[in-house]
Amino acid sequence: MKLVVVTAGLTQPSSTRLLGDRLGEAVAQAVAGRAEAAEVETVELRDLAVDIANAFVTGFPNGRLRAAIETVTAADALIAVTPIFSGSYSGLFKSFFDVIDNTALTGKPVLIAATGGTARHSLALEHALRPLFAYLRAVVAPTAVYAASEDWGGGRDAFTDGLGERIERAAEELAALLLHRVPRRAEPEAVVPFEQQLAALRPGDPG
């Protein structure tokens, strides 16, 4: 099954991309803990900024943007991560989802996450991101993950226990939604040879 991380970080390196990577790893581990496997792919919107702007002007996505859209819409589940600007998601993040058909994510499990300089902006997940994906008819995991600057307590490669717990809880929730949505492959039925079926229908030996 395919898990796609959409990240709208603008800098490089980006704490938004880092959070997306950590969430992707955690969900893959949660899926593996249920004896399944998930392939994780990342769509970095920073590389598509010009393509997204052109799509608004022309009305059509070019080949590279179309490929990114197809990757997202074909995914079994999404992790959507944005930096918070002025108390809401970034313009780049919103613009990408604006060029996707508003029915393309119907029923798709989504984990929402965001990064910001202060914990005061964490409510943007509830008053901005969650309504956006509700409008797109996605199924949003109950736990949203916000990472403020102070959450990266050990530097860019580590995080505080509180953030780690939120990542694990959200990952378990998305894994449960993902596995509930993707049907397990049925075991193939045993094929009984035709001669054996005929033999079963013959009357027994009267001896």
- Tens of pLDDT, residue by residue over 49-70, are 999 999 999 989 999 999 999 9
State the alpha helices, DSSP H only, in 144-193: 161-181
Looking up tokens 């070019």, which residue turns up?
62
For the chain, the average pLDDT equals 87
C-alpha 37/C-alpha 190 separation (Å) is: 26
pTM, two decimals, is 0.83
Is 189's pLDDT higher than 60?
no
